[in-house]
Structure 1
């Protein structure tokens, strides 16, 4: 419990930290408008819901961190009931899955005919676009990792069958995943923005593994391809800087045949080497826009991520991102 409070306390000291959060709190508003204000904020940031407020009064505090392609929220609240009704999401950012790491209090989630009860440390997942019912009968604290739907679908086959399942926070990979995410929230204000952003990929990897442990056995046949594709992508990610990376090297490193690897990427309407090319460019852009690499020559960044032809790199960068590497850097540092 002390650690849960520490997460929330440390996350509020925003001014001294390069990693910035957006803070929302009902405490900033008069009691008679808090419920409508909270409904509007939850509807904008998460999902449109109906709220049953507590008899003790409305209190809710949210800290929302941008986390590369994800978002990490630290939430503290009085008892509350949320009901998501059937209708389309209004914002593209709401087309997401939410991984919940429960910190304190009791939590019940219902979705897709399933029901899960969480104790502190446990984790679950729900689809923000589908009807769901959340009941917290006492003051509570939780973390939410918002994951864009396409990002999770490409990693977890049958992800739609993984909502409202119990991932225990004291066993195996579930324990590793929940403790890592809690540590990220706890230390967010001690990390600079690039450091914090880098951790999101590790969090997503751990969430993927944790979800695989509770995925229904009925879809295990299709999961083998997902696991294989994830293995290939992980190998590629760790070897992007190798300018001599070839399909043969990837095949040897993953133990999968070149033909099977091509079939895996064909399902995603791409090829292995097109995927390598795109990931190298995305890594280059990340470094070009980062303050941590502001003094580094763009050519050095390109070489660092496996390009050995600067003309090819520049053409590819403009084709993918619609601007030159220099224009990208200038735009990033004008923000």
Structure 2
């Protein structure tokens, strides 16, 4: 019953499973079976005798597991019997994208809103409820790997952290990295080492962990959200990430580039993509440049030609010609 959208059950590509289209009487059972094999064993029940519509995209990396889960209203429970018979031996990070969720744990209840991340030990009994359905990202890390990365041996109490843009930069970057890897289409491979470095930064570990990649990823994420801001500066990005401008320069130098060069390259790439989109056909080249953060059309034109070996207007003209070629 597993529906594979791309790749196989390996480390190369996402695997998708959905209850949609399955016999209604078997959906909960099949959903439980899939989760027990692919993610975390749970008992599930729908609310108000509803029919479960749920979809999950899973990606297995070398040691950690990523997922995107969407579903109609339901409740899941991981009780002591389930933990005994289906131990996960992992720490789970749940990133809520849509739908308020409650989380019952032996030390109380947490309400998790969209834009918040819940960190918990998957082998401590819990119940989660989604009265209005859900969409979330999941990162499952083996407990030994989590301890190695963060220095935290036991996650005794659940922790809720905001990850929306403008809050915790590490959590936000982590969510973006996971989200890109478990997209429905055009999924981008995730780098496991970077994910674990971001988790280490999120939990506050400094010690021996090399957080250069985590700082760079956080900075890149901030740049991506402010690419059209002509006033974007190294000081602004460094402050958002929580490092000095000197350290910001250092982490980009470690990747063989500089901060200004990275920003320029991303703006040129964004402009190149926009010039080829039918939706932007009504924009002039100067408007495309401004949209991508350039204050000078002359500077944009020179940089674009130097980077791509052709003028921006040539890209626009070729894209328009390709769209006008009749199908045969």
TM bucket normalised to smaller: 0.5 to 0.7
Residue-pair matches, total: 204
Pick aligned residue for 2:20 from 11, 27, 35: 27
Shift of 1:107: 1.5
Give the structure with the higher percent helix: 1
Deviating above 6 A after TM superposition, structure 1's stretches of 4 or more consecutive aligned residues are none
What TM-score comes out, normalization by structure 2 length? 0.55
**Inter-partner Cα distance in structure 2 for 1:135 and 1:83:** 9
Query: 1:204-239 CA distances to partner (integer Å, 9 max, x unpaired)?
Result: 211222233xxxxxxxxxxxxx631325x979xxxx
Query: 1:151-190 CA distances to partner (integer Å, 9 max, x unpaired)?
Result: 0012223453464211111313333332333233349734
Residue 72 of structure 2 is matched in structure 1 by 78
What TM-score comes out, normalization by structure 1 length? 0.54
> Contact (CA 8 Å) 2:137, 2:175: kept in 1 or not?
no
The answer to whether residue 207 in structure 2 is matched with residue 228 in structure 1 is: yes
Residue 217 of structure 2 is matched in structure 1 by none
SS of alignment partner, residue 115 of structure 1? strand
**Inter-partner Cα distance in structure 2 for 1:141 and 1:159:** 29
Aligned pairs (5 A) from 1:183-194: 183-186=180-183, 189-191=186-188
> Contact (CA 8 Å) 1:48, 1:89: kept in 2 or not?
no
Q: Which has the larger radius of gyration?
A: 2
Of the two structures, which has the highest relative contact order with CA contacts closer than 8 Å and spacing of 6 or more? Answer: 1
Residue 168 of structure 2 is matched in structure 1 by 172
Gaps of 5+ in 2: 214-328
Change over 3 Å in CA distance of 1:59–1:204 after alignment to 2: same
The answer to whether residue 37 in structure 2 is matched with residue 44 in structure 1 is: yes
Gaps of 5+ in 1: 1-11, 213-225, 236-335
**Inter-partner Cα distance in structure 2 for 1:190 and 1:37:** 25
The answer to whether residue 193 in structure 2 is matched with residue 201 in structure 1 is: yes
Pick aligned residue for 1:69 from 59, 63, 72: 63
CA RMSD between the two structures:
3.0
Residue 277 of structure 2 is matched in structure 1 by none
> Contact (CA 8 Å) 1:73, 1:145: kept in 2 or not?
yes
**Inter-partner Cα distance in structure 2 for 1:144 and 1:39:** 16
